[in-house]
Amino acid sequence: MRRLNLTGLVLVSLFLALPLHAPYAQQSQSVRVATAAAAPSSYFDAERSAADRITADEMKEILYYIASDDMLGRDTPSPGLDKTAQYIADHLKKFKLKPAGDRGTYFQHITLSRTQVDRENTKVSLGDKAFKVGEDFLPFGRVSGDAEGQVVYAGHGWVINSKNVNAYDGLDVRDRVVVVSGDGTTPPQGLSVENLPSADWESPVSYAQKHGAKALVLIPRNFERRWRFGANALTRPILTVTRLENAADDEDEDEAEAAPPKGLVEILPSRAMLSALFAGEQADGARVLQASIAGEQLKGFALAPSKLLSLSVKLSVTEASTQNVVAVLEGKDSTLKKEYVALGAHYDHVGTNNPGCRPVGDDKICNGADDDGSGTTSLITMAEAFSKGPRPKRSILFVWHAGEEKGLWGSEYFTRFPTIPLKQVVAQLNIDMIGRSKKAGDTNPANRMLTGPDEIYVIGSRMMSDELADKNVAVNSAYLNLKYNYHYDEPNDPERLFYRSDHFNYAKHGVPIIFFFDGVHEDYHRPTDSPDKIDYQKMQSVARTIFILASELANAPTRPVVDKQIPAEQMAR
C-alpha cells in the first residue's frame, strides 16, 4: 500500500475541516448488523474443497522467493520487478491460465518517462539578476522551453463563470509570464469545480495557455513541502507513465507514446526570487507568498513593465518500461464467461535505499513481504486453486499491478487501457497486505492499528454495492468467520485508505470493490517487512475466504447491483 502522497496530505487537511459525513457513519454502523442475508450457494462445498488447495506452506515458499533480497525491493521499474513478473508468469503458464496482457502474453507493457533536469541549461533571470536552479527556483512541470516577458500576478488564477469568479479580470496575459498563487490545477478552498460543466470554468494553467501567456510561476499552498521534495527531483529523475500523461483520448497508443508534454514552462520560485520579483509592487514577495500558503484571495495586478523575466527550462527525457501481469481463467458458462470477477494485488514495492524506504542499520532493501508480497502470493495460490477446478460460470481476471507504490500506476493504466472490457468486470477484490497480525501483549504504538490473527480490515465493500457487501458477510459467516473490521470504511478517515491502493482506480470506473488489508505496522515500508514476520496461517485464512467470495460472485445468477456511486467530491484525489 502506498503512503499518503503530497496531494493526499493537502486533501487530508481540507477534509478535516469538513463535518463528518453523517450518512456514511450510519452506513458503517449498519455493516455490523447486516448478517448473512443470503446463504452461500449450492457450490459452497465444492468451493470449500477447492479453497483447501491454498496452503500456508505453499504461500511461505512463494513469498520467501518474492520477498528475498534478490528482488532488491521490487521497485518500479527495476530488474527485480521484471524477475518477479517472470516468476508470476511462469506459474500462470504452469496453471494453463489464459494470457490476458499484450499480444497473447501475460504482460501488459507500460512505457515510462524518466525526466531529469539539465541543471547547466536551466536558468531564470530578472533583468540582469540571475537566479540559480535548486536555490532560487525549481522546474515545476515537465515542459522544456524558453520564455521571456513582462510579469503579471493573477491571484489564484481561477475563472468560474457561474460563481462570478474571474481572477484574470482586467489583466492582459498575452506574451506575459504569469505568477499564480496555487499549483495551477487545484481550485482554492471553497471554489470547487466538481460537477460544473467544463465550459463553465478555466484553471489558471489553461486560461494562461489559451490567452497567449509565455510561462507560469506557481506558488502552491504546500510551498515549503514542494521545496523539500523538489530538491530531490534535481538529483533523481522523475518517473511518470507516458501514456497516462499524454493520452487525451484513450484511442491511439502510438500517437500518445510519441507526443512530448505540451503546455507552458512552469517554475516554483524561492522566497528570495519572490522578493526580488515583487520589490516595490503593491504587494511584496512575502505578502504574495503568505496569501498563497494561506489560500487567501489576493487581487491580481501587472508588475512594473521594466521587469523582464527570462526562463529557460531544459529537461531530458528518456524511456523506461515496466508491466502489469494479467491472466484469465475462462468461465464455463457460454454467456456468463464474458463477465469477470477481478482479483488484484500489487507486486511492486519501494525498492532499495529509496526515499520511501527507511533503512534499518545497514539493511536498505525493503523486501515488501507483507506489502504486497502477501497479496501477490495469495493471487498466485488462488490462480492455482481455480485452475484445478471446478470452473466457475464467470471468468476470473487476475491482475498483478506494477507501480502501486509510485501512485497506483498499474491499476490506473489497466483501468484506462483494459485488456478485457472493464464494464464486464462485476467486482474487484483487492488484496494489499494480509500477512501480518498483532501478537497478544504487543504494546508497540506502531502496531496499534494492526489486526489480530483472525481479523482483517474490510474497506469500501458497502460504498457502491450493498449486495457485494452482504455476500462478503454471508461467505465469511458460513465459512471461517474471521473478524471483519470496518474501522476504515469511512470516506473522511484521515488515513484515507480507500484512496491508497489499486481498487480505487476500479471504483473510479464504476466497478464495485472490496479492499482487504491487515493494518499499518512497525515494519511498514521498512527493510524489516520480511517473510519471517508473516503469519502464514492468517494469510491462508484470508486468501481462502476471498477465494470463496470470488467463486460465489462468479457463480451467482446475477452480478452484484451497483446501487450507489461514491460522491464526486470523494473521488477527487
Residue ranges in contact with Zn ion by CB under 5 A: 1, 371
Residue identified by cell 514542494 is 226
C-alpha 366 chain-centroid distance? 19
Q: How far apart are CA 265 and CA 312, in angstroms?
A: 8
- Taking the least distance from each CB to Zn ion, the nearer of 371 and 467 is 371
CA distance 545 to 539: 10
Number of alpha helices (DSSP H) and beta strands (DSSP E) in the chain: 19, 22
Cell representation of residue 229:
521534495
- Please, what is the minimum distance in Å from the beta carbon of residue 373 to Zn ion? 11
Least distance to Zn ion, CB of residue 434, Å: 13
Which CB, 40 or 403, lies closer to Zn ion?
Answer: 403
Tell the smallest beta-carbon distance from residue 405 to Zn ion (Å): 5
Q: From the CB of 501, what's the least distance to Zn ion, in Å? A: 8
**Identity of the residue, 331 or 351, whose beta carbon is nearer to Zn ion in the bound complex:** 351
Q: Least CB distance from residue 506 to Zn ion, whole Å? A: 18
Q: Which is nearer to Zn ion, 355 or 389 (CB)?
A: 355
The upper half-sphere exposure of residue 336, i.e. CA atoms within 13 Å in the direction of its Cβ, equals: 18
| Cell output for 413 | 493504466
Q: How far is the CB of 524 from Zn ion (least distance, A)?
A: 7
Neighbouring CB atoms inside 10 A of 234's CB total 15
Q: Measured from the CB atom, is 151 or 357 closer to Zn ion?
A: 357
Q: How far apart are CA 501 and CA 515, in angstroms?
A: 8
> What is the Cα 278 distance to its own chain's centre?
38
Residue 280 makes CB contacts below 8 A (sequence gap 6+) with 304
Residue number with CB closer to Zn ion (73 or 331): 73
CA distance 289 to 277: 12
| Strand duo 340-346 + 308-313: pairing | unpaired
Q: Looking at beta carbons only, is 1 or 422 nearer to Zn ion? A: 1
The secondary structure of the chain in percent helix, strand, coil, rounded to multiples of 5, reads: 35, 20, 40
Least distance CB 326 / Zn ion (angstroms) = 21
